[in-house]
Amino acid sequence: MAKYDYDLFVIGGGSGGVRAARVAAATGAKVALAEEDRMGGTCVIRGCVPKKLMVFASEYREIFADARAYGWDVQDGAFDWPRFRTALHTELDRLEQVYRKLLDGSGVDIFDTRASLEDPHTVKLADGGTKTAKVILIATGGRPDRPETPNADLGLVSDDLFGLEQLPTSILIVGGGYIACEFAGILNGLGVEVTQFYRGAQILRGFDGEARGLIADQMRERGVDLHCGTNIVEMAPATAEHMRHGTDSDAAMGADLHQAQDRATGQGGAAGGPVRVKGSNGLERVHDRVLFATGRRPNSDGLGLAGIGVETGRRGEIVVDAYSRTAVPSVYAIGDVTNRVQLTPVAIREGMAFVETAFKDNPTAVDHDLIPSAVFTQPEFGTVGLSEEEARDREPVEIYCTSFRPMQTAFADRPDRVMMKLVVSQASRRVLGCHIVAPNAGEMIQLAGIAVKMGATKEDFDRTVAVHPTMAEELVTMRDPVRSA
């Protein structure tokens, strides 16, 4: 009789956990997976996938306007949120079933319940019973985190956006990271009046400075009321009095207040209802909704980690080595719960490397270097490698950069600008960083990322013939550096 019920028990059915379970099962291992919520996790159910579909939905306003410039007879139409939301959830249901079938087809036993650790080889299931496993993999992901501002529970978090009964008329988005900037663009595109507060000097901290500046300018150009160096000083439910008289000298508030007042009926300013916010910039306004996009926290609470000796860090992240091993030899952790790089493809990579290490006798460390990624802001941002600021702190660099109005939108007389930038080592000539702000920049950076990961030099880029007429051809036609640093 086998010593354990399973060779592997995975806790968490998100991208990382599902991939690890399937690949481990393919080695012949007996595998189980527990998920307390919906299969697919953050990426599929309340993150990347529904977000990207919302980005597509939000872009049609501009597409319709451009179509007229191209000679099409297109009438303005209204966006029907309930219709889109229904279609969105139908699609998410379908994808959830795909994930479930993939696990079933791989022979993985699924437990639709919460699981925690009882000892280094025993998992306790919330709906009763325990299961033992030779190896346990924790892939429980993360969740949105609210700041400690009083009354922060009046605000929404990103999870809430996909199920809203109706779109707000106005929203204050707090934060300047991926989620804040992406939803500022989405909601603005869908016709919501968007105000954004970011506490720092410029949004998208950590990315290339020039790209950040262009994205911020273009977000403002498109109508996002972005306030940097600003945070919430005070927030409270909007009372009928606030909504009758307003709290803001800003005349534009009038219409917003009336709409917020209509929405407040029956909600009395309860969580998710109109909120009066005083900003550190002196602005006091009623917003139909407030969204906190102020970072995410690892889902490590209540897993019984401390009891068995699994170490966690300051934000609750599970501490692992390069092989995703925790302090307990039979317990591994991957994905957002380890708070290394919070990206779906990275969690998947970590899951695959875990299987190599634990089930194929091939210890494999995850390579977290030169990860290309995209921020689905409007305009979109694709990036890989070092920002100009990071690179010039390390070594002398040359900067090749161009910014221009792309053909497609210039024809429609839109003021959009795109940017292509290469950060090049003066010594090795290697391209240390590539930063693209442009429609479909995510698609472009995936390909440029291969060259950068391979160690391509500026001369390798130059040797490549341009694809004409495209925006990306500028990546191989920039002859002279704009500066050396």
Q: Where do contacts with ligand NDP occur on this chain (CB under 6 A)?
A: 147, 174-180, 182, 198-200, 205, 231, 293-296, 342-343, 373-376
Looking at beta carbons only, is 54 or 243 nearer to ligand NDP? 54
Phi, psi of 277 (to 5 degrees): -125, 130
CB of 144 to ligand NDP, least distance (A): 6
SS3 390: helix
Q: Residue 241 corresponds to which tokens in the numbers above?
A: 């009095």
Strands 225-228 and 193-198: parallel
188 φ/ψ angles, rounded to the nearest 5 degrees: -60, -45
Catalytic one among 227, 368, 435, 468? 468
- In terms of Cα–Cα distance, which of 419, 428, 434 is closest to 457? 428
H runs (alpha helix) in 234-314: 240-245, 253-264, 305-308
Nearest-approach distance from CB 228 to ligand NDP, in angstroms: 10
CB of 417 to ligand NDP, least distance (A): 21
Query: Which one, 13 or 142, has the nearer CB to ligand NDP?
Result: 142
Smallest gap from residue 346 Cβ to ligand NDP (A) = 9
Q: Is-catalytic flag, 121?
A: no
Q: Residue 275's closest CA among 171, 146, 149? A: 171
Report d(CA 283, CA 313) in Å as an integer: 37
Output the six-digit token pair for 150.
Answer: 């009083």
Residue 9 or 178: which CB sits closer to ligand NDP?
Answer: 178
* Residue 305 main-chain phi, psi, to 5 deg: -70, -50
Backbone dihedral region of 321: left (phi > 0), alpha (psi from -120 to 50 degrees) or beta? Answer: beta
Other Cβ atoms within 10 Å of 119 Cβ, number: 15
Which is closer to ligand NDP, CB of 272 or CB of 372? 372
> What residue is closest to ligand NDP based on CB?
177
Closest distance of CB 318 from ligand NDP, Å: 17
Q: Give whichever of 24 and 57 is closer to ligand NDP, judged by the CB atom.
A: 57
**Which residues belong to the active site?**
468
